[in-house]
Amino acid sequence: MTDSPNTKQLISQRQVARKLAMIAIYQWQMTQNSYQDIYLAIQDDRDLSKDFRKCDPAYFQSLVRFVIENQEDVDALFVPLLDRGVDMLDQIELAALRLAATELQNHIDVPYKVVVNESVNLTKKFGADQAHKYINGVVDKMARQIRTLETGGL
């Protein structure tokens, strides 16, 4: 079964939304600026604003706003799975985990394997050399806890 053009477009728009959400979450972690300030900064950045026009803006907003407004609850989904304190994580890794936790919890229409794969790809793009391996392990464990029916809780 092949994906329809609309499905392919939605997938592409969500990939761009995730990339921008990762950048926005990272900016928020570094500055503690409001969602509105971060959104405006993305709009003011020439390259990012071009990407934003290609993304699913509602998806971007749902991811970033949820992390900002529920950071403690989001962190509680993965902190017990870490082999180190959250303060020892690189800020890119932390942003990737927050993004994945939010997507796993709030967007059950997205298969958990997609969330794991996208987290790994974003960490490869923005993170340290081998960080994607760590993110893969943590997000996979998190998916098995949050999406027990989908993953079989293995």
User: What's the CATH code, domain 5-151?
Assistant: 1.10.940.10
Instruction: Report helix, strand or coil for 54.
Output: coil
In sign, the C-alpha dihedral spanning 120, 65, 107, 148 is positive
CB-based contacts of 110: which residues, under 8 Å, 6+ apart?
14, 103
pLDDT in tens, 16-63: 999 999 999 999 999 999 999 999 999 899 999 999 999 999 999 999
Kindly report the pTM of this predicted structure: 0.93
Residue ranges covered by each domain of the chain: 5-151
Summarize the confidence of residues 109-137 as an average pLDDT. Answer: 97
What token pair was written down for 118?
A: 């996208």
Between residues 6 and 65, the one the model is more confident about: 65
Q: What is the mean pLDDT of the chain?
A: 94
pLDDT at residue 103, rounded to an integer: 98
What is the arithmetic mean of pLDDT over 67-95?
A: 97
Max mean pLDDT range (4-8, 46-50, 67-71): 67-71
